[in-house]
Amino acid sequence: MHLDFAVIADYALVDQAGKLSVLGIFQHIWVQQFPAMHPRLHLVLRLKGKRTEVGEHHVQIRLLDEQDTEILGGNGNVTFAEPPAGVTEIEAGAILVFDVPFPHPGPYRFEITVDAERKTSVPVTVSQLPAQPAGGQSLH
């Protein structure tokens, strides 16, 4: 079993045919102030495996800051269906939607574990927007 890719995006969906669509992939968030909340962040994964790996696989997600403090954690299962005859590789998309709290600026990362094996880390950096001068922009 391997993780084909993992990205953070504005939106994602899996259609009835199993096709994965992803919009607005990003790795940086600008916020007005801290602590901040990023609503409806989509963490998108695609797992691939061999035909022998059909069935349910355990996925664990942890959001950590640069001090390895866990900000958010979640567990779930991804189920691989029996593929059509002759197909040797199976795949499954997973979309996890979180309202993510960011207590302070800096680097964060989503740690992704599948069947108790660490697969990857997806980085995201959070920064505060610079303050705008009173009265808007001045041109000199």
Going by pLDDT thresholds of 50, 70 and 90, the confidence category of residue 124 is very high
Mean pLDDT of the chain: 90
Domains of the chain are 2-20+38-80+88-122 (2.60.40.10)
Tell me what pLDDT residue 101 has. Answer: 95
Residues 6+ positions from 140 with CB-CB distance below 8 Å: none
Rounded percentage of the chain residues whose pLDDT exceeds 90: 65
The token pair that represents 42 in the structure block: 């989509």
Calculate the dihedral angle through the C-alpha atoms of 97, 99, 105, 108, rounding to the nearest 10 degrees.
Answer: -30
CB-CB contact of 110 with 121 (8 Å): yes
Q: How many other CB atoms are there within 10 angstroms of residue 116's CB atom?
A: 7
Tell me what pLDDT residue 140 has. Answer: 53
26-84 tens-digit pLDDT: 999 999 999 999 999 999 999 999 988 999 999 999 999 999 999 999 888 888 888 88
Q: Report how far apart, in Å, the C-alpha atoms of 134 and of each of 32, 43, 129 are.
A: 15, 37, 15
